[in-house]
Structure 1
Amino acid sequence: MQVASNTTTDKQTSLERQVQSKERSTTVGSKAQAVTSDGNKVVAKGAERNETSQYLKVLSRIENLLIQEKLPDAAIEGFVGAIKKQIDLMSEADRQMLLILPEAKTIELKSLDNLPEMITNNLRDESKSPALLKLLRQPKFAVFMRTDSKPAPKTYTAQSAQTPTPAKLPT
């Protein structure tokens, strides 16, 4: 019986270590960025948080490969393509909100349409990448990089009225 309880404790300890290591890998940035006021926190629910964490996982992988100097061009192109796709889906109000972030001002971002090119050109530049990565890690920016960023309309639309009804079979 003691062996079984020790094994359970060992399993729990290793599980706790796995959870902690995953938390560390998704927590990117300095401690100052991790401490935010209640007004700056983005309240996200299950699927939203999952989608945001997927973006942060990809960003973390990009950063790790960048540090190891093993970041392939294809990875940058894929990442930039995904960001461009999400930017294209944003409303003008969302774009303006992101442009006023201090991190966007630091890298002198005038239009979100310039961001994909800026990432491609500056990600490997050691003098410019820290500020660029700071914007990409910014919680408000990360929320907009969710793949389900645009909620479905909750009002009646013409599209919802056009759903086909199953045809009745002759009897």
Structure 2
Amino acid sequence: SPTPPAEMQKVLDARDHTEEEKARIRQAIEENAMELDAQMSVAQSDRRRKEEIEKRLKEMESKLLHGVDNLELRNKMLEEAAAKGQRDIEDRERAKAEREREIEKLEEAKLLKEEKFASKKEEAADKTRKLKKMFGKYQTAKEDLEEHAAAIGREKDDMMDSIRLLRR
């Protein structure tokens, strides 16, 4: 182990040492001092590097935590919006179905209403005309429902795609 500088000085001062020994000892002291300075410099550099890495790590953790919170909030908001959209679609479907039933009841009541006909032929022609009219309304309502169902399906698929994209 290296000899402390105070002890080295005592050794230097001893009378029985030769000049050569004194020079060797001085050189050893200088080498020890330079080595100690180099080690101190490396230690300071390592400490600065460690502090910088810790600082960057804390910044990254903060950004990550903040980003996760925002993403979770956005996902929650989108899921709530999708659920509300689905409820709205279902409410519209129920209301439309109720209107269709009401129209159907009124039209049936009108068709079933007692009418006086001059002849069976006139009654048959009238019922055929009413039946064609009802069938046309039925076809139109059926097409409207199919178009509406397709639109709802597309809207639902779009919402599900958005949710899937956000969950990635």
TM-score by length of 2: 0.24
More helix by share: 2
- Structure of larger gyration radius: 2
TM-score by length of 1: 0.23
User: Which of the pair has the greater relative contact order for Cα pairs under 8 Å at 6+ separation?
Assistant: 2
